[in-house]
Structure 1
Amino acid sequence: MRKSLFFIASGIYIGIVIWLLFFYPFNPASRMDTSAQRFISLTPFGTTSEYLLNALEHQSYGHIRTLLINVGGNILLFVPMGVIIFNASPQRIWIPWLLGFLISLSVETIQITTQVGNFDVDDILFNSLGTLLGYWLCAHVPVLQLHKLS
């Protein structure tokens, strides 16, 4: 019974992630507007540094919020992915990192090619970190381990 609930919850999580990354209008003026200018950031921590500098310089709630959502949101969004990967195949630590990286790379590529978002290497790094965090949590919190569910 708990295994079934886990698989149902995993499916719901994946559906929510797809909706958030491709359809939820965080910024309705630009998210679905194909004429909006998109960017590709290939500099590790470039966008995050920019957000951090703006938050420190302006010390406004909006800039701090943007920084926290960008970093925290990208990490937290992929924590459940690490749990799913652990339960699908508990392997060496590089496997979930690689899968998290490839899934995130795919998301970023789809977002820029379909013009529903930007391609930012920071998102890939933080998503991969979230996947690793989820994997680590699953490895250390037995209740999250599918093979121990009955």
Structure 2
Amino acid sequence: MMLKYIIKDLKETLAYLPYGIMAGAVVGLLLNGLNARRERKGKDTFPMAGLMAFSLYLMIILVITFFSREDGSRIGMDLELFSTWGTNARNHSYVVENVLLFIPYGFICPWAFPWLRGFFRNTFAAFVTSFGVETIQLITGRGYFQVDDILTNVLGAVIGYVIFWLLHHMIQGFHRPDLRR
């Protein structure tokens, strides 16, 4: 039953993909111009693919957490740890969805922003981002401020970071010369 809710909610989220693609395209155009200028000056260029992916992801997060909800539609604060797990499949699905929502964050941030390639930096950035989303939701009434959301978002980001780290080190291993000779 819980999986049914998760699949339904993920399908609804796909409706926001065009907004994310548009944001990624705009950022890509801007970065292309900035990178051409940086190259002419002999400076390092920005990681275009990572930043485009981040802007696509950020737009989807903004639509899901803010723009798809009316002002004042959800008012409240829940500071009790593990209270959102609840007693039914719907509540369980919300917890799983919050983890899934931030897995891309943990993967895309170190790809787009090299200074976030450390585990603790990335985890702290996920915490600050999630805390910011929850705070803005509380202020605008577009979502409940829930400590569990922050915890599950950070857990998702940690999972995403581990995936990034594993892939990054595998790719680096392919590019290193064999040192055993």
Query: What residue is the counterpart of 2:61 in the other structure?
Result: 17
Of 108, 113, 116, the residue aligned with 1:84 is 108
Secondary structure at 2:142 match in 1: coil
Aligned residues, how many?
126
CA distance in 2, matches of 1:42, 1:65: 20
In structure 2, relative to structure 1, the CA distance for the partners of 1:114 and 1:92 (3 Å cut) is same
Q: Which residue of structure 2 lines up, in the alignment, with residue 46 of structure 1?
A: 83
1:138–1:144 contact (8 Å) kept in structure 2: no
Q: TM-score, normalised by structure 1?
A: 0.73
User: Does residue 32 of structure 1 match 2:70?
Assistant: yes
Residues 17-51 of structure 1: CA distance to partner in whole angstroms, max 9, x if unpaired?
11110011xxxxxx4152x4622111111122xx2
Answer 1 or 2: higher relative contact order, Cα 8 Å, separation at least 6. 1
State the distance in 2 between where 1:98 and 1:4 align.
24
What residue in structure 1 maps to residue 155 of structure 2?
A: 129
Q: What runs of 5+ residues in structure 1 fail to find an aligned partner?
A: 25-30, 56-63
Alignment check: 8 A CA contact 2:84 2:95 kept: no
Please tell me whether residue 100 in structure 1 is matched to residue 126 in structure 2. yes
Question: For the structure 1 residues 144 and 72, does the alpha-carbon distance in structure 2 shift closer, same or farther, using more than 3 Å as the test?
Answer: farther
**Quick one: distance in 2 between partners of 1:74 and 1:142?**
25
Q: Percent identity?
A: 31
After the TM superposition, which of the residue ranges 5-14 and 83-92 deviates more from structure 2?
Answer: 83-92
Q: What TM-score does the superposition give when structure 2 sets the normalisation length?
A: 0.61
Asked if residue 8 in structure 1 is aligned to residue 34 in structure 2, the reply is: no
Does structure 1 conserve the Cα–Cα contact (< 8 Å) formed by 2:53 and 2:108? no
Q: Which one has a bigger Cα radius of gyration? A: 2
2:92 partner letter = L
Q: 1:130 to 1:145 in 2, by over 3 A?
A: farther
CA distance in 1, matches of 2:126, 2:52: 20
**1:58 counterpart residue number:** none
In the superposition, relative to structure 1, how do residues 144 and 19 fare at CA in structure 2: closer, same or farther (>3 Å)?
farther
Could you say what the CA RMSD is over the residues aligned between the two structures, in angstroms?
A: 2.6
